[in-house]
Amino acid sequence: MNFGNQTPTIVVLKEGTDASQGRGQIISNINACMAVQETLKPTLGPLGSDILIVSSNQKTTISNDGATILKLLDVVHPAAKTLVDISRAQDAEVGDGTTSVTILAGEFMKEAKPFLEEGISPHIIIKGYRKAVQLAVSKIKELAVDITNNKEQNNRQLLERCAKTAMSSKLIHNNSDFFVKMVVDSVLSLDQDELDEKLIGIKKIPGGAMEESMFIDGVAFEKTFSYAGFEQQPKNFKNPKIVSLNIELELKAEKDNAEVRVEHVEDYQAIVDAEWQIILTKLEEIEKTGANIVLSKLPIGDLATQYFADRNIFCAGRVSSDDMNRVIQAVGGSVQSTTSDIQPEHLGTCETFEEIQIGSHRYNLFKGCPEAKTCTLLLRGGAEQVIAEVERSLHDAIMIVKRALQNKIVVAGGGAIEMEISKYLRDYSKTIAGKQQLIINAFAKALEIIPRQLCENAGFDGVELLNRLRMAHFQGEKWYGIDFETESIGDNYNKFVWEPALVKINALSSATEATNLILSIDETIKNKEGESPNAGMAPPPGRGRGLPM
């Protein structure tokens, strides 16, 4: 039989390898990302709903924080994982806007889909989107209002307004007046040059109401494991001297550490006495420093506990590294790894130290610290899930206040900035010809998803309010957005619905980058399970893109 010039089929991929490519592959990836977007849509805004997630080990989480939800969802589609990444990046970089960034990315892809189906090259769409986001970011910077003011009260009001906007969509929005003060106090207590949010300690104590949460201008940690004799120690001090150690203060069982041969009973007694003498010398040296409070990262045994109790000294062993670092930041001094040369400058101090009962736990509180570059938030709530969500909400608000302190430029929230950018891009698209006009117009249309979704989640008439918003922005009302109090539209800047411009810039940039990444992938190669990605496989000629699973 003559095959003529027909080339025989050459198999380069291992049997069972799934390779799909072309325009259909891009559309399939877009559909997967839109499914993730649909999951998050209902959680956007002040009247968004929460999602209850039950993990494989039956642990339940209630949240409406985009990054938390995506982290807990087991997203298996390789392209859709991109949305999880940008949401996490937004959380790490800015702290808020994690839901917005995912919804925007999904909407940009949705708007690109009709162009792909009509046969337009994805690279033309990518070029249009890049131009659009470049224009959008410069427009945000141009519109943003710099509210730098030397008066401290005004500065505080600005931070409180930003924190309140960040809390508006969270579980704690009904108690926002109470928590806003707590958040701003905690950020202002940090070193203003570094603003390291890790120095804000957050302790969760089940029981009680949310309003029973406390702000401690200093350090608080739960009473550590203690031996007999602890009850006799004083639990209240004024201006105490505090020594921080990294030493174990207990009798060691030498059989674990050394071998000693003795011939006489007296020799054995001498060894036991030596052991006791070592620890007693350490305790006497600590006492001589004049310290009233002894903290150690390592255990403090029963002998040392009783010794300190007899001399009216408070001690706590096994203090965690995080808590110890925050104590040092607050009270001054430094951690000592020996007792033989502790100088007065190595000791810290604070105005008051006390041990108090909070719920079913006892807490050690250091207040009025001279160095105070740290603070502690003690959160209360009826259930563990509630407290965990309060913690996530406060984290977002703390990050927003931190960013507002670093970059004092803000824009109005509630969909106002998105509508203004959308109007600007529509106007710009009319000045250019060709396919780019349609693509930039599609980008502008996608931005409207934010105000539209805010309306849907609140139960408002989205079509009517969006038309009124378009009209207002056309007439030059650049800060008009959705007003949830009047169920209408209004000037959100004057109503102090403020967000740092950085949140919007970062969200737009990340969402566009993710969209362009998905649009540039036109082939996915999945290997059979249990095989290495390179086993018996060569990439098809002329193609270098793919998302291995």
Angle at 148 between CA 502 and CA 179, to 5 degrees: 70
User: Looking at the domain assignment, is residue 188 inside a domain?
Assistant: no
User: Looking at the domain assignment, is residue 544 inside a domain?
Assistant: no
User: Looking at the domain assignment, is residue 350 inside a domain?
Assistant: yes
User: Looking at the domain assignment, is residue 165 inside a domain?
Assistant: no
Query: Which is higher by pLDDT, 216 or 192?
Result: 216
One-letter identity of residue 85: D
User: Looking at the domain assignment, is residue 143 inside a domain?
Assistant: yes
| Residue 473 and residue 327 share a domain | no
* Residue appearing with tokens 């609140």: 458
Q: What is the pLDDT of residues 56-65, one digit of tens each?
A: 888 888 888 8
pLDDT of amino acid 154? 59
Integer Cα distance of 481 and 418 in angstroms: 9
**pLDDT above 70: percentage of residues in the chain:** 89
pLDDT above 90 for 390: no
DSSP state for residue 346 in the 8-state scheme: G
pLDDT above 80 for 221: yes
| Residue 419 and residue 369 share a domain | no
Q: How many distinct helices (H) and strands (E) make up the chain?
A: 16, 21
Among 468, 542, 449, residue whose Cα is nearest residue 45: 449
Number of domains in the chain: 2
- State the chain's mean pLDDT as an integer: 83
| Cβ neighbours of 194 (radius 10 Å) | 9
Which pair of structure tokens corresponds to residue 51? 């999602």
| Residue 300 and residue 227 share a domain | yes
Residue 547 — pLDDT band, cuts 50, 70, 90?
A: very low
User: Looking at the domain assignment, is residue 333 inside a domain?
Assistant: yes
Stretch 38-62: mean pLDDT, rounded? 86
* Residue appearing with tokens 């011939």: 263
pLDDT above 90 for 441: yes
User: Looking at the domain assignment, is residue 357 inside a domain?
Assistant: yes
Residues β-bridged to residue 358: 361
pLDDT of amino acid 209? 83
Which pair of structure tokens corresponds to residue 59? 């642990």
pLDDT of amino acid 7? 56
pLDDT above 80 for 254: no
CATH of the domain at 281: 3.50.7.10
The answer to which of 5-9, 80-84, 385-389, 464-468 has the lowest mean pLDDT is 5-9
Q: What is the pLDDT of residues 500-530, one digit of tens each?
A: 888 899 999 999 999 999 988 877 777 766 5
Residue 381 host element (H or E): strand 375-381
| Residue 420 and residue 520 share a domain | yes
B/e letters for 440-457, b = 16+ CB within 10 Å, e = fewer, are: bbbbbebbbbbbbbbbbb
Which pair of structure tokens corresponds to residue 513? 């980058």
What CA–CA distances, in Å, run from 327 to 9, 315, 323, 350, 481?
71, 14, 6, 10, 45
Which residues are CB-neighbours of 280 under 8 A, at least 6 positions away? Answer: 307
CATH of the domain at 480: 1.10.560.10
Q: What is the pLDDT of residues 106-154, one digit of tens each?
A: 999 999 999 988 989 899 999 999 999 999 999 999 988 887 654 444 5
Which pair of structure tokens corresponds to residue 54? 């039950």
Among 496, 323, 391, residue whose Cα is nearest residue 95: 391
Angle at 296 between CA 293 and CA 301, to 5 degrees: 95
| Residue 416 and residue 371 share a domain | no
Angle at 151 between CA 400 and CA 403, to 5 degrees: 15
| Residue 429 and residue 289 share a domain | no
| Residue 110 and residue 21 share a domain | yes
| Residue 365 and residue 234 share a domain | yes
Stretch 442-455: mean pLDDT, rounded? 92
pLDDT of amino acid 542? 46
pLDDT of amino acid 248? 85
What CA–CA distances, in Å, run from 348 to 116, 201, 236, 368, 496?
66, 19, 16, 12, 42
| Residue 370 and residue 225 share a domain | yes
Query: Which is higher by pLDDT, 14 or 315?
Result: 315
| Residue 230 and residue 82 share a domain | no
pLDDT above 80 for 409: yes
Structure pTM? 0.75
| Residue 67 and residue 111 share a domain | yes
Residues β-bridged to residue 216: 376
Integer Cα distance of 76 and 94 in angstroms: 26
Which pair of structure tokens corresponds to residue 455? 């309306």
| Residue 360 and residue 282 share a domain | yes
- Residue pair 69/53 in contact (Cβ under 8 Å)? The answer is yes
H helices present in 407-542, as ranges: 416-429, 435-447, 449-458, 462-474, 501-519
User: Looking at the domain assignment, is residue 51 inside a domain?
Assistant: yes
Stretch 448-471: mean pLDDT, rounded? 90
pLDDT of amino acid 537? 46
pLDDT of amino acid 344? 83
- Residue pair 179/160 in contact (Cβ under 8 Å)? The answer is no
**Structural domain that includes position 36:** 17-147+412-527
